[in-house]
Structure 1
Amino acid sequence: MAPASGLEMTDAYYPGHDPIDFYGNGGFRFGEMSHQGAILFLPSGVHRWDVETVNALTTDHFEKLLAESRDIELLILGTGNLIVPLAQSLANHIRQAGIKLDIMDTGAAVRTLNILLSEDRAVAAALFPVS
């Protein structure tokens, strides 16, 4: 909370499952909205994902994902401009929840997500922005 201005920071959240219309310039556009930074695309909707790089990821960054694991068959991890491997311990953490993991660059991840959404598949995505 920022007492001087009266502004309260909330968890940025969009409850829809609209395809991603645009990615680039450090953000994403979906459902007539836009977001700068990383996002988690979950069954409950699209959430702000407060992480800067794949190498900064910890198990805490996947709490929301794992809370919805019963409704997720596949997690697509879009790692930015290049494919960046996920630490084996984190990959195992996700797989132990019964979620398959596919890692790709963000462009391929967005395209794959949109196709799987059109097929009504149980998919989630964790997407890092590209410039």
Structure 2
Amino acid sequence: MQVNQDYNPRAYMVRAVTPGQVVISHPLGSDRPAAGGLAASALETLTASLVILPDRLIRDWNPRDFAALQRQHFEFLATLEVEVVLLGTGEKQHFPSGELTGMLASRGIGIEVMNTAAACRTYNFLICEGRRVAAALLIEGNGQ
């Protein structure tokens, strides 16, 4: 499913999401040049959990599914210096404990929990508004 109509060529964006994978476009001028040197964003298909920010892509984020989320994962998210973290919990929405989400809230970081496809759409919308946001996306299936 294609995710967005808005596009920011200077940021990492989610271009598509299907069960087991997310397609990311790289910002213009990033370390992954487009094929043939054309002035277009390169696309990368990821099949393991990841964290995406407008200026950074963290591949192979450690938790592979919702049950694997632990304190250390939220501690890492708290270091990203963002306004809000969008937690995509896989194909279905699951809510982590208040202890885990409270680690972000106590540092003034908002957290929104939704399924991964919704987190991708929300991430794209917020970065097109110029917001400092991170999407922590659990990718179930192929990357397991």
Extract unaligned runs of 5+ from structure 2.
1-9, 26-42
Extract unaligned runs of 5+ from structure 1.
1-15
Aligned to 1:128: 138
Q: Does 1:57 align with 2:69?
A: yes
Q: Using the alignment, how far apart are the partners of 2:103 and 2:54 within structure 1? A: 19
Aligned to 2:14: 20
Which structure 2 residues correspond to residues 35-114 of structure 1 after superposition, within 5 A? 35-42=46-53, 44-48=55-59, 49-69=61-81, 72-114=82-124
Q: Using the alignment, how far apart are the partners of 1:78 and 1:63 within structure 2? A: 17
Q: What amino acid is the match of 2:83? A: E
Aligned to 2:35: none
Q: Residues 17 and 59 (structure 1 numbering): CA distance in 2 closer, same or farther, change over 3 Å?
A: farther
Give the drift of 1:54.
1.6
Q: Using the alignment, how far apart are the partners of 2:47 and 2:80 within structure 1? A: 24
Q: After the TM superposition, which segments of 4 or more aligned residues of structure 1 sit over 4 Å from their partners?
A: none
Give the drift of 1:85.
0.6
Cα RMSD of the aligned pairs, angstroms, is 1.8
Q: Residues 20 and 41 (structure 1 numbering): CA distance in 2 closer, same or farther, change over 3 Å?
A: same
Give 3-state SS (helix, strand or coil) of 1:129's partner: coil
- Identity among equivalent positions (%) equals 30
Give the drift of 1:23.
1.3
| Contact in 2 for aligned 1:43/1:68 (Cα 8 Å) | no
Q: Using the alignment, how far apart are the partners of 2:67 and 2:131 within structure 1? A: 28
Q: TM-score, normalised by structure 2?
A: 0.71
Q: Using the alignment, how far apart are the partners of 1:47 and 1:41 within structure 2? A: 6
